[in-house]
């Protein structure tokens, strides 16, 4: 299950869509019969159910939600072999009571990003997982949360190289909470070139932010370059050749797929200490965790201290899509067992153990 507004393919801009695309492909490789429910323009290794057109505006969300969910429910009713629904879009699970199979919903956002009281009436066949230890701690009071599975990338598509250019890179969705204006300020302080990569489409609020906060900084510094929406191959090449990636999120990030992709390419990351970023980026080993744009600028001078091989090894150990798929397969088995037994009795001990991992900072 995808988010209803965005397509799922190798060119997807959203992190959740990229994870879904890679995870479904890996599950199909492992012999799992997969069906992907997503909007037009999506691709799948298994069966693809297209739930409607692509929409790029939030005011279309309610309409697309209804269309998307109705299509999924109809598909589920007609598919007698369906064993489990994995909701990676984070919006379908509220409709799960209409199904007789379990639904696992991956929570990609901080608690404050979800509607108030949405977790007070969770259907009995719904279970949740988080994508980092810090996020798990914030959801620990919800009994249906079973633990965490870290996001991963397909390593074969992100080849590492020790040969780096002289530019810094910022890559993500152009919006205020991602803080691209802060990356521009840090790069200016450091006196280093910066390439900004963001999707060419922007919601109205994001367009206003771009025009007011980002465009003036881009225009005044000839060392800055705005790329827009490059092809997947171009994106990977930018990641591979960058001196370092700047991650300037000002909200509690639950993961950072772009940081994982950069490190897979052997490129270190300088990130603010928000949410799970200190879990994803190992301070002093695969990059630097900082508290301000001044510290980010200073850390940019130290990027040559980080070995590209160390960045790659970290992703191989902790964030490969193969390990992510293996963890999800075990979680799928646990969810089906819990659903079959009709009880949440065994969830609490596992949740306690998972919370212990979160507290240890693993």
DSSP annotation of 232 reads: H
Residue-wise pLDDT for 58-91, tens only, equals: 778 888 899 999 999 999 888 888 999 999 999 8
Provide the terminal-to-terminal Cα distance of the chain, rounded to the nearest Å.
Answer: 29
User: Which single residue is written with the structure tokens 């040969």?
Assistant: 163
How many CA atoms are closer than 13 Å to the CA of 59, on its beta-carbon side?
A: 3
Residue 362 has what pLDDT?
A: 34
User: Which single residue is written with the structure tokens 């190992």?
Assistant: 282
* Percentage of residues of the chain with pLDDT beyond 70: 93
CA angle 298, 180, 91 (to 5 degrees): 130
Residue-wise pLDDT for 204-225, tens only, equals: 888 899 999 999 999 999 999 9
Distance CA 65, CA 80 (A): 24
Distance CA 338, CA 127 (A): 9
Domains and CATH numbers, the chain: 15-152+322-360 (3.40.50.2000), 155-318 (3.40.50.2000)
> Is there a contact between 149 and 129 (Cβ–Cβ < 8 Å)?
yes
Pairing state between β 85-87 and 47-50: unpaired
User: What is the chain's mean pLDDT, rounded?
Assistant: 91
CA 317 to chain centre: 18
Short-list 349, 335, 336, 340, CA closest to 149: 335
* Better-predicted residue by pLDDT, 307 or 228: 307
Distance CA 271, CA 293 (A): 10
Distance CA 28, CA 361 (A): 32
> Is there a contact between 115 and 293 (Cβ–Cβ < 8 Å)?
no
Q: In the predicted model, what is the mean pLDDT of residues 88-117?
A: 94
Given a cut of 70, whether residue 46 has pLDDT beyond it is yes
Distance CA 12, CA 34 (A): 19
Given a cut of 60, whether residue 352 has pLDDT beyond it is no
């Amino acid at each position: 299950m995808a988010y209803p507004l965005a397509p799922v393919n190798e060119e997807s801009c959203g992190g959740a869509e990229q994870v879904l695309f890679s995870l479904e492909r890996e599950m199909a490789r492992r012999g799992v019969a997969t069906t992907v429910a997503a909007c037009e323009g999506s691709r799948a290794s298994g069966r693809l159910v297209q739930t409607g057109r692509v929409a790029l505006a939030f005011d279309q969300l309610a309409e697309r939600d209804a269309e998307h969910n109705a299509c999924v429910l109809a598909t589920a009713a007609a598919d007698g072999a369906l064993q489990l629904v994995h909701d990676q879009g984070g919006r379908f699970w509220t409709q799960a009571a209409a199904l007789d199979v379990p639904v696992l919903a991956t929570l990609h956002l901080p608690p404050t990003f979800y509607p108030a009281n949405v977790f007070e009436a969770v259907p009995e066949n719904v279970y949740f997982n988080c994508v980092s230890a810090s996020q798990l701690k914030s959801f620990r009071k919800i009994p249906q949360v079973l633990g965490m599975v870290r996001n991963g990338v397909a390593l074969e598509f992100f080849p590492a190289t020790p040969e780096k250019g002289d530019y810094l890179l910022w890559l993500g969705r152009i919006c205020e909470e991602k803080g691209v204006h802060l990356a521009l300020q840090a790069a200016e302080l450091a006196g280093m070139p910066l390439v900004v990569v963001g999707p060419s489409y922007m919601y109205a609020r994001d367009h206003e932010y771009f025009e007011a906060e980002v465009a003036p900084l881009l225009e005044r510094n000839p060392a800055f370059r705005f790329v827009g929406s490059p092809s997947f191959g171009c994106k990977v090449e930018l990641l591979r050749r960058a001196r370092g990636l700047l991650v300037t999120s000002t909200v509690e990030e639950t993961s950072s797929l772009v940081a994982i992709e950069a490190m897979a390419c052997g490129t270190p990351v300088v990130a603010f200490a928000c949410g799970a970023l200190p879990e994803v980026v190992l301070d002093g080993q695969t990059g630097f965790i900082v508290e301000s744009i001044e510290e980010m600028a200073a850390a940019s001078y130290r990027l040559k201290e980080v070995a590209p091989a160390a960045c790659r090894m970290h992703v191989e150990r902790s964030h490969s899509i193969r390990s992510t798929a293996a963890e999800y397969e075990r979680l799928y088995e646990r969810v089906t067992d819990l659903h079959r037994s009709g009880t949440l009795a065994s969830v609490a001990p596992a949740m306690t153990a998972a919370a212990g991992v979160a507290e240890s900072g693993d």
